[in-house]
């Protein structure tokens, strides 16, 4: 049985492992159907996709036709102007064959100029608020990547009552003092205001040495089952955090097997040994827009 927790103030009791449906983006429909059956069998009740995840929303449509009422469904828009964000949300609903999503998220809102556009009159925030009022979504969140995103989420939460945030979180990133401090401040505010805190990149090993070659994941993931287990428990031992799964669907069984007792966190020594053994490095350096 997967552990569950209230997803912020939404009223939904979400599994603390959320299916990252970027994994479906390049799949055949047959393989996507099998993957979705596996996450259903594992007990996952929350799916996170995005308009920009290839064919992911299309691949979800047959599954949602039969199982929509059992899943908290989240998608994302990368648009910053109101008309474009509204149009993209409507396309997402059509692609997935649903009349609403539970959560629409502003995707990777980290650049200051994009932030200003999204929050301006006629911007994406205004349009998505209108879409929520019309019943096309129930909640609105914000996501992001890179070392700047926790501080930008604090700025976003100061400007609007978002229902969720999403940010990178793993042992190597938490070793970066400035990022760790920003994340601590963000988590504190989320707990205070009942905002759901989602994490990504839990099992990241580092950037690919050959980023131009085809891969199932944007980053190189851990593949050793014991190391995956420690990386997963590193996140889930923090009871305010949710873990979004990797886009490499081959690793889903290892993630589900890894969960075990989420109250027992790996020690810093164990994580340091893994970092040395598997050459784990932080994905982000803060010097450029980091979308992986």
pLDDT digits over 77-112, tens only?
999 999 999 999 999 999 999 999 999 999 999 999
Phi first, then psi: give them for residue 113, nearest 5 degrees. Answer: -70, -40
Q: Is residue 252 included in any domain, yes or no?
A: yes
Q: Is residue 215 included in any domain, yes or no?
A: yes
Q: Is residue 287 included in any domain, yes or no?
A: no
Which of 74, 83, 129, 128 lies closest to 102 in space, CA to CA?
Answer: 74
Q: Is residue 150 included in any domain, yes or no?
A: yes
140: β partners: 104
Is 180's pLDDT higher than 60? yes
Give the CATH number for residue 139: 3.20.20.100
Q: Is residue 108 included in any domain, yes or no?
A: yes
123 pLDDT band (50/70/90 cuts)? very high
pLDDT tens by residue, 70-79: 999 999 999 9
Q: Is residue 284 included in any domain, yes or no?
A: no
Phi first, then psi: give them for residue 89, nearest 5 degrees. Answer: -60, -45
* Contact in structure between 118 and 125 (CB atoms under 8 Å): yes
Return the percentage of the chain with pLDDT > 70, whole number: 97
Domain range spanning residue 189?
Answer: 4-277
CA distance 208 to 206: 7
**Domain count across the chain:** 1
Q: Is residue 282 included in any domain, yes or no?
A: no
The pLDDT assigned to 289 comes to: 47
> What pTM value is reported for the model?
0.95
Quote the tokens at residue 182: 């920003």
The pLDDT assigned to 152 comes to: 97
Q: Is residue 283 included in any domain, yes or no?
A: no
Is 203's pLDDT higher than 60? yes
């Amino acid at each position: 049985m997967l552990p569950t927790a209230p997803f912020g103030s939404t009223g939904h009791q979400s599994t603390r492992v959320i299916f990252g449906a970027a994994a479906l983006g390049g799949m055949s429909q047959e393989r996507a159907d099998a993957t979705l059956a596996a996450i259903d069998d594992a007990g996952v009740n929350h799916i996170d996709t995005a308009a920009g995840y290839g064919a992911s929303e299309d691949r979800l449509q047959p599954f949602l036709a039969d199982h929509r009422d059992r899943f908290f469904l989240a998608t994302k828009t990368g648009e910053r102007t109101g008309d474009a964000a509204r149009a993209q949300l409507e396309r997402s609903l059509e692609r997935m064959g649903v009349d609403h999503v539970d959560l629409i998220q502003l995707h990777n809102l980290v650049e200051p100029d994009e932030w200003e556009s999204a929050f301006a009159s006629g911007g994406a925030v205004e349009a998505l608020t209108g879409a929520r009022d019309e019943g096309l979504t129930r909640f609105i969140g914000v996501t992001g990547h890179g070392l700047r995103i926790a501080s930008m989420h604090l700025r976003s939460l100061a400007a609007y009552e978002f229902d969720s945030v999403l940010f990178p979180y793993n042992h190597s990133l938490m070793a970066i003092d400035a990022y760790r401090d920003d994340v601590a401040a963000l988590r504190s505010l989320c707990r205070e205001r009942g905002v759901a805190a989602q994490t990504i990149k839990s099992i990241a090993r580092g950037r690919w040495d050959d980023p131009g070659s085809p891969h199932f994941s944007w980053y190189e993931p851990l593949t050793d089952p014991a190391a995956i287990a420690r990386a997963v428990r590193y996140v889930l031992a923090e009871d305010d955090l949710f873990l979004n799964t990797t886009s490499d669907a081959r690793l889903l069984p290892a993630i589900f097997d890894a969960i075990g007792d989420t109250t027992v966190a790996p020690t810093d020594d164990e994580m340091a040994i893994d970092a040395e053994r598997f050459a784990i490095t932080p994905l982000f350096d803060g010097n450029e827009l980091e979308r992986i």
